[in-house]
Structures are given as structure tokens and as C-alpha cells.
Structure 1
Amino acid sequence: MTTKSYGQYCGVARAMELVGERWALLIVRDLLVGPKRYTDLRAGLPKIPTNVLATRLKELEQGGVVARRVEPSPSRAIVYELTPYGADLDQVVLALGRWGARSLGELRPGEIVTTDILVMALRSTFRPDRAKKVRARVSYELRFGDLVVHALVDDESLEVAAGPIDKPNVVIEARGPLSPLLNGEIDGEAALKTGLVTTDGTAADLNRFAQFFPIQ
């Protein structure tokens, strides 16, 4: 845990002391997708200096947020994972992602998108109340450059993971950020006409996707 203190007996202050340092919550974000090796974390956060990553991991361990374990033979690799206490940050990170998505705008020069980012973005924006109204079971495969993730919407539940899914109902290939579609700036038909996306589905399928995963 960081030695810096806000000097306040407050839950918010204590939380900031635990995970408020630069990069800390992004490490937590990626670990919410699954355990990671040090090299995996570096690959997902390429702008973090090596010494800062090591420091943040140590602080998160000391705070009881992250734990290390050694994988079984033959790899014997050290992986980092969230403790049950750290995993309780799930809804906090999703809420922050949902709130922050409204300010994303255009992709800035130098910004990257990773598989973990896509997985957490879908989890953050999913609206189970809208899926319940449709009462649909539909699988999506989302492609963004070389990245592929899939999402299975079944009534109010959502399953998201990296990689393709067998026989998806709809394949969506994004040619850029989907925010104009997801925030209602354009509809599915316009997204197709402008080349923002390609799909093996229809404009109506894109509208439904935007209904399930809105940015608002």
C-alpha cells in the first residue's frame, strides 16, 4: 500500500490510497478480465514504465488487492490475480468505464485498443434491462483490426470473452471507434453507409447491438 495518506478517516480516501495512484486502476481493469503474467500486463499497458508497474503491483499486493501465485509445472510462471477483496472493485471499474465512455470522442493519436479494453467496454455498457425487454439470445463477434472478442446476450445475462465464437448470429467488423453508433449519433444504416462498420447482419442488427451496449 502506498505510504501517501490523505489524512482522512473516510472510505473514499482509503480507496484512493489503495488504487488511486497512476496506472493502478488500469492494472485492476486488466486483471478483472483474468490473471496475467508480468509480461502480459506490460503488453496491455505499453506506456507504463517498468519500474512503475513493479511499484504498483507491490503496492496493490500490500493493500490486499492483488496476489501472486506460481503456475503449476512445467511453466512455473508467476501470475498476478485479484484477491476476493480486489475483485470487489468489479462494479466500481465498470461504473467508471460506463461514465468515462461518454467522454471518449475520437481515437487520439497514440491511443491503443486491446482485447481486455474491448471486453471491459462491452461489460461496462451492457444494459440488461433492454436485453430483458427483447428476450433474445444472440451472439456477437466483434472485430477491431486484429482483435476479436465475442459477446453472448441471453435475456438479462451477458458473457464476454476474447476470441471468436462458434457460429455467431452477427459478426461486426469495426473500422474505427463505434461511439457514433453507440451514443445514438448515427443509426445502423448510416454506420454501414459511412463505412464505420461492416457486418454479415443488417442495419437492424446493428441498431439492436447499440440498444444493448449504449454509450449514454
Structure 2
Amino acid sequence: MPRRSYAQYDAAARSLDVVGERWTLLIVRELAFGPRRYTDLHADLPGISTDVLAARLKELEADGVLERRTFAPSAPVRVYDLTERGRELVPVVMALASWGSPLLAEHLSTDAVRHHWYLLPLAEILRRAAGGVDGVVELHVEGSNCRLRFESWRATVVPDEAPEAVVTVSQKVADELLAGRLAWADAVADGQVAVDGSSAVATQLSVGRAP
């Protein structure tokens, strides 16, 4: 079945022709931290059918957003990974996650939860707390983790860069931070988050206020 198109000669409309379908940007979210197997994607996209997932992956591959390749740390397995073009969408997902954080004030009992879903929206909170101090930070939330490079105006996912600080946040505290019920500086002052490291960015995150 052909995909719908806005049929508009406009960059935003053309972008949405590619990534505007239901589930598409959530697939990008799942691949933001590295390659995933089909079964892993299906498990971490609760509610998606196998047919829809297969269709979305096929479309994204055709559009050059992701690629299938063999990943073999110990035994060859087939994985999906973002292309260079696809990785350009990660900041888009991060911006959406940051914009949507206030919508997490209510946690419904029917809501699915995965700990790695906290990482991208927390990145913007940490970037602001870093107060313009650049550096690479490893963020942990209940066993899920990612590495982020903070610059004055953005945070980017950098899986292969050595961290200058390690930040550990519990799910409970992450809920409070994202919903806006807890400020980062207060969480640090109360010992509700852990910041390890002696770098400039670690020092600034331990203060939690712009210099």
C-alpha cells in the first residue's frame, strides 16, 4: 500500500512524508543509542504489530534513514542501525522529548515504561544544568545508559566518546525532574542524584545552576 503524501513542495511537508507515520520517530528513538535486533525493537515498542514494524523498517531503509547489517560481537546477528542521515533525526526526537516532558505530570497505570525512554528527555535537563560548560557525560537511569556530549546550545548522543562525568538518576527522581516537580539543583543538593567525576562539566552538574 503506497504511503500517503502531503504533496507539497515544502521541506517540512517532505520530511513528514518520510517520518510522519505513526511509530516512525519512536523507531528512531529506539535506534538513537546504537543498533538493535528486530526482536528488541518489537519488545520495546509495546503496542506495535509485527506487520506495522516490518513495514516501517522497510520504508525507513528505502528512505536511507536506517540500514540492516550484520553485528557480530560473538555470533553474527542481523541488526538495524541508523545511517548518517538517520542520526540527524536524533536531535529532532530529543527536542520532541524535551517539549513533551511537562506532559509526563500524570503517569497512567496503563502506560508502558522502559528505563531507556528517560535518557533523551533528561539530556536537555542536564544540558541546561551544565550551564554552557562543554563535556561528555554518561547518564544512567536504572541500568539503562547513554553518553551525551554537551555543548552550549545542544546535547548529542556520542556512544564512542569517553565520559568526563557519570550521572546516575533513579526512575522516581527522573519522573519528578521530567514532570517539573523537582529542579536539578535541588535534586543535587538533596543527594537525589549522583554526579561522579572531577572535570569542569562534572563540577558544574554538581552545582546544577548556570555559572
The aligned counterpart of 2:111 is 111
Cα distance in 1 for partners of 2:171, 2:104 equals: 16
Tell me, yes or no, if the aligned pair for 2:149 and 2:158 is still in contact at 8 Å. no
- What residue number does 1:173 align with? 170
Give me the whole-angstrom Cα distance separating, in 2, the residues matched to 1:87 and 1:200. 29
Query: Percent identity over the alignment?
Result: 36
User: Which residue number in structure 1 is paired with residue 123 of structure 2?
Assistant: 123
The amino acid across from 1:131 in the alignment is: A
Q: Unaligned 5+ residue runs, structure 1?
A: none
* Number of corresponding residues: 197
8 Å contact kept, 1:122–1:160: no
Paired position in structure 1 for 2:48: 48
Shift of 1:69: 0.8
Any conservation in 1 of the 2:138–2:148 contact (CA below 8 Å)?
yes
| Residue-by-residue CA offset, 1:134-190 (whole Å, 9 max, x unaligned) | x5989776444xx4437678885968799xxx9x876543436523x4555345798
Contact 1:38 1:80 in 2 (8 A): yes
Distance 1:61 1:47, change over 3 A: same
Across the aligned residues of Structure 1 and Structure 2, the Cα RMSD in angstroms comes to: 4.0
Runs (5+) with no aligned partner, structure 2:
196-203
Deviations 1:3-60 (A, max 9, x none): 3111111111111111111100000111111111101101211221111100100111
| Partner Cα distance (1:82, 1:152) in 2 | 17
Distance between the aligned counterparts of 1:3 and 1:26, measured in 2? Answer: 18
Change (3 A) 1:2 1:25: farther
Does the CA-based 8 Å contact 1:97-1:121 persist in structure 2? yes
Q: Conserved in 2, the CA contact under 8 Å of 1:123 and 1:160? A: no
Q: Secondary structure at the match of 2:40?
A: helix
CA contact under 8 A between 1:66 and 1:81: conserved in structure 2? yes
> Aligned-pair distance for 1:111?
1.7
